Amino acid sequence: MSDVVEEIGDWLTDNWDPDLSVAEWWERLGLAGWAAPTYPVEAYGKGLSRGDAVLVGNAIAQHGALSAPGGLGLLLAGPTIATHGTAEQIERYVRDIVTGQRAWCQLFSEPGAGSDLAGLQAKAERDGEEWIVNGQKVWTSGGHVADFGMLIARTDSDLPKHQGITYFGIDMHQPGIDIRPLREMTGRALFNEVFLTDAVVNDDAMIGGKNNGWAVANTTLMFERAGLGAGGGSQSTSVATPGTVAGDLDKRAGDFVTAPAKTQTATKTATKTTTKTTTKPAEKKPAAGSAALSGLAGRLRQLAAANGTIDDATIRDDLMRLHSMTEIGRINNLRVKGARAMGRDIPGMPNISKLSMSTLVRLQRDLSLRIVGANGMLHAYEPGQRAAITEATGNPFLGMITELALFAQAPPIYGGTDQVQRNIIGERVLGLPKEPNNDRVTPFAELPKNA
């Protein structure tokens, strides 16, 4: 047992109490440095490697305790502010992130600025010690439950497009912000479009300095790619939702977890029965991270064994391919850990991991639908339909399979498209020549705009 696992185990024994409220438990976890152990010590972390952070997350789950507050606050906003923010901003924002008191969303993409993010046109104009923001953002995950947003806006149109951008932490609870959900093919509305009309953000909410937003945003994108990538081992999801909007903070922490399994037994009847628990956990949203795919791979093996599709050699080949790719992602994570221990890095690994994740979700989609056969055409687009489909098919995992299959089209797009990842690897890692353009020297106001 590693020292980290022993330390978190002892701490959980002394501190986990299912009768605490979610807010009380997350405060204990966050202030002790265990909610975000990769953060620096001065930013409510422990300075651990990502590999050790995965061990911490696994130990919390195995203990039967509620995991750290999930969402984009812990995954993106917190580490970005810890990197570029002032000590005062770290205290103001990061403390509430690691304790789950405030939820965050990402106000980056626009209708005409997705892959070409630097072409954004949302404007922030200074008015004394405040900035007035006008514009539109889209594909805003969790915007409907967010307290704050990571906003990048244009603050100087006379500079080249990459230079005239500033990064802010903006309060989402104000009259100038209109959040409209976007219903997806899964039936959920995890994304939103956000309209900012004379929204206000204070000067002291500027992260990283005026017109330095592109560098700060790239830090956020780096954390996003690393967290979403294969082998990322992201522990950024929790059954309870952080922030003041979702209403989970005052609930009992123990109601969001089930007792840890004593043994792992795979049987052919696993697809026809559900496990009874003493508590009813809240419905968990689908996750596209490597941890979710790793768990799904095991369930797919059980399903294939139960319904006989395991006898298909091509099914067995793809199950092995899914396992192998997940292992490669895990091993790449260990390579990064080893390199950093020696004061080095592996250039392009976050981008490679993001590309691997795109390949993984497509393989998982095709394989899982082949295993479940015609039942894969049954999907619950409304919450009330899920129980009926489970009863009709006898497969409690079918809803997760069809949802991830429908969702599989998203990872190759969000967090930077596959094409963008390849461009970054080619230009920044391999040193290949960039596509010819004068975007970096021409004032943004003089550039042709996307339709």
Cβ contact 129:86 at 8 Å: no
Concatenated DSSP letters of 216-278: HHHHHHHHHHHHHSTT-------SSPPSSSS--TTSBGGGG--PPPS-----GGGGT-----S
Query: In the chain, which segments carry CATH 2.40.110.10?
Result: 104-211
Q: What is the CA radius of gyration of the chain?
A: 22
Q: Would residue 183 be called left, alpha or beta, if left means φ above 0 and alpha means ψ between -120 and 50 degrees? A: beta
Say which amino acid occupies 111.
P
> Of 103, 95, 4, 102, which Cα lies nearest the Cα of 49?
4
* Diameter over CA atoms, the chain: 71
Query: In the chain, which segments carry CATH 1.20.140?
Result: 286-416
Whether the model clears a pTM of 0.75, i.e. scores above it, the answer is: yes
Q: How many CB atoms lie within 10 A of CB 395?
A: 20
> Candidates 3.40.50, 2.50.20, 1.20.140, 1.10.730; correct CATH number of 286-416?
1.20.140
Domain 104-211 falls under CATH 2.160.10.10: no
Query: In the chain, which segments carry CATH 1.10.540?
Result: 3-101
Cβ contact 108:115 at 8 Å: no
Q: State the pLDDT at residue 238.
A: 67
Low-confidence ranges of the chain (pLDDT < 50): 231-236, 261-291
CATH architecture of 3-101: Orthogonal Bundle (1.10)
Q: Tell me how far apart the alpha carbons of residues 227 and 53 are, in angstroms, rounded to a whole number.
A: 12
Helices 349-372 and 290-307, interaxial angle, to 10°?
Answer: 20
DSSP-derived 3-state class of residue 364: helix
